[in-house]
Structure 1
């Protein structure tokens, strides 16, 4: 299993993306969500959503579909 980056999102959107993928049966994780939270710059740092490389195409398709 190798993780690849699906995309970079603001902190809240990243967690919505992870939830959407989870509802489609695709494992995903948000990286960097708590980076620099102590100094208040966490709104400026994009959160990377990572998926297994075998799920990358399926994840992109899932996000392209309307809810």
Structure 2
């Protein structure tokens, strides 16, 4: 079991993706969401959405079906 990157999104999209995956029973976590918050550039830094390597294919399918 290892975390792998599903994709990079803006802050709001990342949390929408995580919620969508959670509704399908796939655990996901956002990394880098608070990066550089002190200098105000956090809106420009993509947030990485990470999933378990065993869930990657299913997570990609869910996102492709949603788009």
TM-score range, shorter chain: over 0.9
Structure 2 gap segments, 5+ residues each: none
Structure 1 gap segments, 5+ residues each: none
Matches within 5 A, 1:1-67: 1-66=1-66
User: What TM-score comes out, normalization by structure 2 length?
Assistant: 0.95
Distance 1:61 1:38 in 2: 36
User: What TM-score comes out, normalization by structure 1 length?
Assistant: 0.95
Which 4+ residue blocks in structure 1 deviate beyond 6 angstroms?
none
Aligned-pair distance for 1:64? Answer: 1.3
- How many residues were matched structurally? 67
- Superposed CA RMSD: 1.1
Residue deviations 1:1-21, cap 9 Å, x none?
100000000011000000000
Q: Per the alignment, in what secondary structure is the counterpart of residue 13 of structure 2? A: helix
Distance 1:42 1:12 in 2: 12
Distance 1:30 1:43 in 2: 14
- Which structure shows the higher helix fraction? 2
